[in-house]
Amino acid sequence: MRYLMIDRIIEWEAGSWIKGIKNVAMSEDFLEYHFPGNPVMPGVLLLEAAVQLAGWLEAAGSDFRDWFLPTRVRKCNFYGFVLPGDRVEFEVRAVSKAEPGVRAYQCVGMVDGKRKVKAEFEGERVALAELEDSAQQRRLFQVLSGKTGFHHG
């Protein structure tokens, strides 16, 4: 099963930054076991959401030829719990590269203006077509970013 951790992409600037939202629903299957009777979104899934946003930033900036795969988490701090009903607002920013071929990002995840996660991670750019159907990912990005052509009345 593949988890898509981002529910909405709000805005982005190709090659620079991206903002997205994860709405935590009580129906998420990972909450059943983390923790029984006291559901909390696992920290590793907050980090996964940030990494997926970095992937979307790479894709949008490369006309959906590239994606980001993490190889190292430099640092990650958590500040309290993310609970069912929370709306996590992420901002992921590209940072200067440490070495050729390495992509590096910083992220902050906030709930109601309070920081819940802050991380720095790095990885490599890979060909999107080796992982997924590029055209399908382009369509999914359009849905996530509200650019489907559907109009709300």
**pLDDT one-digit tens code per residue, 71-114:** 999 999 999 999 999 999 999 999 987 678 899 999 999 999 99
Q: Is residue 16 part of a domain?
A: yes
Q: Is residue 150 part of a domain?
A: no
The pLDDT assigned to 99 comes to 77
Q: Is residue 2 part of a domain?
A: no
Contact 107, 92 (CB under 8 A): yes
Residue among 68, 60, 127 at smallest CA distance from 97: 68
Active-site residue, 34 included: yes
pTM recorded for the entire structure: 0.93
Contact 88, 21 (CB under 8 A): yes
Backbone phi, psi, residue 48, to 5° = -60, -40
pLDDT band at 35 (very low <50, low <70, confident <90, very high): confident
Q: What is the CATH number of the domain that holds 62?
A: 3.10.129.10
pLDDT tens across 55-74, in order?
Answer: 999 999 999 999 999 999 99
CA distance linking residue 96 with residue 104, whole number of Å: 7
Q: Is residue 100 part of a domain?
A: yes
From 10, 14, 30, 34, active-site residue: 34
- Structural domain range at position 89: 8-144
